[in-house]
Amino acid sequence: MQKTCKRKQLQLDGRSQKSPKSTTEEPYPCHHRPTAEECRVVRDELLALHGFPPEFLKYRRHRLMKMEPFSNEAQAEPLINSDDGDHKEESVLDGLIKIVLSQNTTELNSQKAFASLKSVFPTWEDVYAAETKSLENAIRCGGLAPRKASCIKNVLSCLHERKGKLCLEYLRDLSVDEMKSELSNFKGVGPKTVACVLMFNLQQDDFPVDTHVFEIARAIGWVPAVADRNKTYLHLNRRIPNELKFDLNCLLYTHGKLCRKCTMKGSSQKKLTSKDCSCPLSVNVVEG
- The pLDDT value given to residue 288: 42
Position 186 in a domain:
no
218 contacts: CB under 8 Å, gap ≥ 6: 225, 227, 232, 268, 271
Q: Is residue 57 part of a domain?
A: yes
Give me the pLDDT at residue 281, please: 86
Which of the following is catalytic: 187, 192, 231, 245? 192
Residue 189 in domain = no
Position 46 in a domain: yes
Asked if the structure places residue 56 within a domain, the reply is yes
210 within domain boundaries? yes
Rounded to an integer, what distance in angstroms lies between the CA atom of residue 184 and that of residue 19?
A: 7
Q: Is residue 256 part of a domain?
A: yes
pLDDT at 284: 61
Which tens digit of pLDDT belongs to each residue from 211-237? 999 999 999 999 999 999 999 999 999
Span between the terminal Cα atoms of the chain, in Å = 55
Peptide bond into 146 cis (omega under 30): no
| Phi, psi of 133, deg, nearest 5 | -65, -40
Eight-class DSSP state of 77? P
Q: How many domains does the chain have?
A: 1
Instruction: Give the whole-angstrom CA distance, residue 120 versus residue 145.
Output: 15
pTM: 0.83
- CA gap 56, 253 in Å, rounded: 11
Preceding omega of 27 cis (within 30 degrees of 0): no
What pLDDT, on the 0 to 100 scale, is given for residue 19?
A: 44
Residues 94, 95, 99, 100: what is their CA dihedral angle, to the nearest 10 degrees?
-40
Output the CA–CA distances (angstroms, integers) from residue 16 to 185, 197, 271, in the order listed. Answer: 13, 18, 26
Which pLDDT does position 115 carry in this prediction? 98
| pLDDT confidence of residue 280 | 86
Is residue 260 exposed (0-12), middle (13-18) or buried (19+ Cβ within 10 Å)? exposed
- The radius of gyration of the chain's CA atoms, rounded to the nearest angstrom, is 19
Dihedral pair phi/psi, residue 271, rounded to 5°: -125, 150
Report pLDDT for 259: 85
Q: CB of 209 within 8 A of CB of 13? A: no
Is residue 102 included in any domain, yes or no? no
CATH number for 234:
1.10.1670.10
58 tagged catalytic: no
**What's CA 33's distance to the chain center, in Å?**
21
Q: So what's the pLDDT on residue 191?
A: 93
Task: Give the range of the structural domain holding residue 255, as residue numbers without chain letter.
Answer: 31-63+204-263
How far is it, in rounded angstroms, from Cα 97 to Cα 167? 12
Mark the ranges of the chain whose per-residue pLDDT is less than 70.
1-24, 68-87, 263-278, 283-288
Q: For residue 25, what pLDDT is reported?
A: 73
What integer pLDDT is reported at residue 65 of this predicted model?
85
Residues pairing with 188 in the sheet:
11
